[in-house]
Amino acid sequence: MATIDGSTIIGESILISGSLNGDEDLTVRGRVEGTLTLTKTLVVEPTGVVKAEVQVKNCVIAGAIVGNVTATESVEITKEGRMVGDINAPRVIIVDGASFRGRIDMGEVDVEAERETRAVARVAAPAPARPTLRPAARPAPAKAAEPRHAEETVVAAKPPAPPAPVAMGAVKRKVIVKRK
Amino acid sequence: MAGIEKVPAPRSGAHTVIGSSIVIDGEISGDEDLVIQGTVKGRISLRESLFVEGSGVIEADIETANVEVSGQVTGNIAASDKVELKADCKVVGDIRAPRILIADGALFKGNVDMDVKETKGK
């Protein structure tokens, strides 16, 4: 019975209201209301509905979540996923077809350092793969730091770094909300 | 279907499992079998069977069709069919069910009421 140890499943007809804490993976096919705190991964399957303040390590949403989600690692909304609420996680993945309304906070992004890193990278090599995961943690490539390019680096730093597409979506929605 | 009753294997049919590191404080309700290996406080109401496994700890009132306890339960149990207290379980609370089985080795403190159908109007 390997499926039974170390993983919890909330079946389709089950409703849990209150607080749920745990140190193992949790799969929700039914409903959970209240607060949900895990040190591992929460998977909300297509039939699952979570109306709760969620605090987890990883969160995969294929069902519905209403409430704020704080993840220490990542939040992924799959193409069947629906979510209303704010996300706070260093990595947020929203795929085509997912529906989401709310704010996203991926943590402190050092914009200045980011610009320099990108500008230097642009001088060194044209448009490297966008560091979507943890941009701030990426050090400048060593071979780009040639002194005679200092002037050029400053010029190149002027255009603002384009924000990640996810963040753009979030800002756009926020503006719409404010207009009302 | 290998039907060996006392081995946990037949429970693979259960859709819902509350794992051993999970703590739920609140209410659980539903229409399917529920296996509890973790901790639940509050209230449980089901229309099917509840299995409290060895590692399971319940501080809740329980209302179901069947209950099978191998772990610890503190609270009142009302079952429309059967309550089974297995060896090594600890149960404190009142039990109301038409059929109640208490195995050798089970610890139980509380009232037992098997006269459910007759006193239903009360």
A43 and A59 inside one domain: yes
Q: What are phi and psi of A178, to 5 degrees?
A: -65, -35
Contacts of B28 in chain A (CB under 8 A): 14-16
* Residue finishing a domain among A105, A128, A147: A105
Could you tell me if A10 lies within 8 Å of chain B, comparing CB atoms? yes
Q: Are B45 and B28 in contact (CB under 8 A)?
A: yes
Is residue A123 situated within a structural domain? yes
A147 shares its domain with A94 = no
Is residue B120 predicted with pLDDT exceeding 70?
no
Contact A24 B29 (CB under 8 A): no
The stretch B17-30 carries a mean pLDDT of 94
List phi, psi (to 5°) of B9: -55, -45
On whether any CB of chain A is under 8 Å from the CB of B18, the answer is yes
The pLDDT value recorded for residue A110 is: 73
* A65 in a structural domain: yes
DSSP one-letter code for A107:
-
CB-count exposure of residue B74 (10 Å: 0-12, 13-18, 19+): middle
Q: Which of residues 32-71 of A touch B (CB under 8 A)?
A: 34
pLDDT at A113: 73
**Residue B83 burial (CB count, 10 A):** 26
Question: What spatial distance separates the first Cα and last Cα of chain A, rounded to whole Å?
Answer: 54
Taking only the tens place, the pLDDT of each residue in B62-101 is: 999 999 999 999 999 999 999 999 999 999 999 999 999 9
The arithmetic mean of pLDDT across residues B1-9, rounded, is 40
- Residue B115 has a pLDDT of 82
Within-domain flag for A177: no
Mark yes or no for CB contact A11/B15 under 8 Å: yes
Residues A27 and A97 in one domain: yes
Rounded CA-CA distance B53/B38 in Å is: 8
- What is the phi-psi region of residue A97: left when phi exceeds 0, alpha when psi lies from -120 to 50, beta otherwise? left
A31 in a structural domain: yes
Return the SS3 of B55: coil
Provide the residue range defining the domain that includes A76. Answer: 7-105
Chain B nearest-CA residue for A12: B15
Does some domain include residue A168?
no
Examine the domain organization and report whether A78 and A155 are in the same domain: no
The answer on A101 and A113 residing in a single domain is no
Which backbone phi and psi does A169 adopt, to 5 degrees? -55, -45
pLDDT of the residue at B69:
96
Q: Is residue A15 part of a domain?
A: yes
User: Residue A156: what residue type?
Assistant: A
| Residue A123: per-residue pLDDT | 63
A25 and A100 co-located in one domain: yes
Number of domains in chain A: 2
User: Do A100 and A48 share a structural domain?
Assistant: yes
Residues A65 and A129 in one domain: no
Q: Domain check: are A37 and A118 in the same one?
A: no
Strands A99-101 and A82-84: parallel
Contact A4 B21 (CB under 8 A): no
Per DSSP, the three-state class of A117 is: helix
Predicted TM-score of the model (pTM): 0.67
pLDDT in tens, B35-63: 999 999 999 999 999 999 999 999 999 99
* Per-position pLDDT tens, chain A of length 180: 334 455 899 999 999 999 999 999 999 999 999 999 999 999 999 999 999 999 999 999 999 999 999 999 999 999 999 999 999 999 999 999 999 999 999 987 777 777 777 676 666 555 444 444 444 444 444 444 444 444 444 444 444 555 444 544 444 444 444 443
A33 & A122 share domain: no
Residue A171 lies in a domain: no
